[in-house]
Structure 1
Amino acid sequence: MTVTDPTANLATLIRCPSVTPAEGGALSALAAMLAPLGFAVERMTARDSDTPDVENLYARLGAEGPHLMFAGHTDVVPTGNEAAWTHGPFSAAVADGEMYGRGAVDMKGGIACFVAAVARHIERRGPPKGSLSFLITGDEEGPAINGTIKLLEWAAARGERWDACLVGEPTNPDTLGDMIKIGRRGSLSGTITVHGVQGHAAYPHLADNPVRGVVALAAALMHPPFDTGTADFQPSNLEVTTIDVGNPATNVVPAEASARFNIRFNDSWTADSVTAEILRRLDAAASDETLRPGRPPLRYDIEWIGRPSHVFLTHDERLIASLSSAVSAVTGRTPALSTTGGTSDARFIKDHCPVVEFGLVGKTMHMVDERVAIADLETLTAIYETFIERWFGDARD
């Protein structure tokens, strides 16, 4: 198998229906690409209660430092209505210079290009003077319980240490070369449940309507703004994503109402401090006498959803400069160094080594007709190959 062609690599990966948590053959296909290049490939299955088992892959070339990790995921989101696709979501069809398929940009395309870049580097210059590894999960698009975080722990327990990491997520908003992600905001989610007293809508004095309360609590979370942003991050932002009552009747005051929210917070906050601020706002709103004259404070509960994601910012100048200069050398563009967007598995990797993210243009990720320009696959492969050469060269200086 020749793996210097990113288009062929991507077609192989797309044809594996690896919708989270199914492996779908994607990790096996990747292992078959890496083994002939000299990588020692290992598969690790992670398990936890109340969540599906997930297969993951770790592969390493070399035994000495410096050690560069490439991280990503072969799992993909569901296809949606397959009949709405111009070409089958697992067909890897090429039309008008683009390859169609679920995962084309998020993020089988990035993996395909990095494999091709490594293969070209080895073919032209031999193996890097150090170590390269692939840390690939099947759980990034899912609950992220049995994926990268456990694979990192597994590898670290075996003595693996890394000097830097590149995550191949689709970071570019419009054109390849637009943006490198050097950090991410934190993320915290929760559900508020307000308790009332069910009753007849015509006799409100005998009931206690929780809808008024949940609306007031939601408003208190969204205003005033948490901050105005920092030098490296945009303002923190809390969104109430749903308000639910579950009441089919128009003449019944419900007993409960709930609201779910998510906040993306910058480096003005920690997970602990933003949690405290949320609770302070809720308690103040629940005790506001203008909302319930003559009545005791609102009764509410809050349930935190999952683990908080912590804000981080990468300061490794060698890593950032090597990647930035590679992007500029290949594309002629100077990439923005950004912390925008959602979370990624970089939030786990940053506890082990400096990490940045750079991949394809993400315009069609998670959409029907997800697709990538063939020309972009070649360009990204050239960027990755240049980055590998420069990072290992810089790391030896």
Structure 2
Amino acid sequence: MIASIWRPVCLLLLLIFLEIARVYFIMPFPGSQLDDAANLDRVQIAYGLHKHVPWLRLVIVMALIATSVQALANPILRWHRWAILGGMVLYACVVYIVNWEMMADRMFLPPKNKRMVALPDNKIPMNKLVLGVAEKGDARAYPLQLIGYHHQVRDTVGGKPILITYCTVCRTGRVFDPVVAGRVETFRLVGMDHFNAMFEDERTHSWWRQATGEAILGPQKGRILTELPARQMTLAEWTREHPTTLVMQPDPAFRSETDSLATYDHGLRRGKLTGRDLASWHDKSWVVGVLAGAAARAFDWNELVRKRVINDSVGRQPVAVLIAPDNMSFSVCDRRLNERTLTFVPISGGRFTERETGSVWDWRGRVVAGPMAGQQLVPMRGYQEFWHSWRSFHPKTGRGH
């Protein structure tokens, strides 16, 4: 008799656990995004649940109906009807909350009205950070405040489709070619892995990491999206390079959401997930991550601001990390030129010189005066992001000095 009551109760609890587990492992709940090898196992569990939940849900619901009919038919246990019906109502509420309130793609939506305007019509302040993309004379700027909420924006630059992505919890901005296996793919935000945004492609339902562009689960596992050149700097500095640039504007449909990130790009936003730690080498400390082939190295942002330039090497490649006078824009360059390895030192006016020829350089790695006039260093891939993110996806990274 008692067993006939507990069967539907246990099945209801199993259904509720199933729904909650679908989001627990891919959203920032306590313990769900631990920075260790086991985290991928958690993501695999979430992927399995996501893939098989329709039939799992159906089987359990059918068993629940069968056991509930038996329990409700027992006249001695009539009062338990309300308990079972209450449990079903609770399950319905959990289904709604999980599938309509807690799913990442329902919390963070792509823009409904993407407006790219010329500078005369721009309303974005010039001191705001942007992710800039230029292709075949076509330049476009995407403010971090906007793409930080949307997580992904689709656009075409120089006739080429691009996917602009950003994760505020990792402070990672990446631009990818959305062509997968010869077809332009559509992605949706599905959750996170190691606190990094994770996308699902529409065609194969594989899951892709935002920070690396790698498919970690599904039929596309192991494939890596082609990353396209993009640079983070203030809009003022971007427009000095690209005066005809177009600038993304806020979508009125998401004004409150993007306004909530107004202080994010300058590191003034408070919060455990997106706030900055002003100390060095803490989880939420800013670093400049640099890649040179298979080698990776991270440079402390505070040290960069203090020294103005860091001369170091990534693997065997000499690099220079330089910061602009605004203390927000930066560049990473190969400091080899004409068979010389240059050593930079800051001088007045936000400029730099090097000990080898005494030429004067700007923060972009261009000579503005001196014996090497007209020369320019080769730019390298460099990213400003949180230290926890860089070390998670580049576990063999070194620390610069």
Q: For the superposition of Structure 1 and Structure 2, which TM-score range results when normalised by the shorter chain? A: under 0.3
Larger strand fraction of residues: 2
Return the index of the structure with the highest Cα Rg.
2
Q: Which has the higher contact order (CA 8 A, sep 6+)?
A: 1
TM-score norm. by structure 2 comes to 0.21
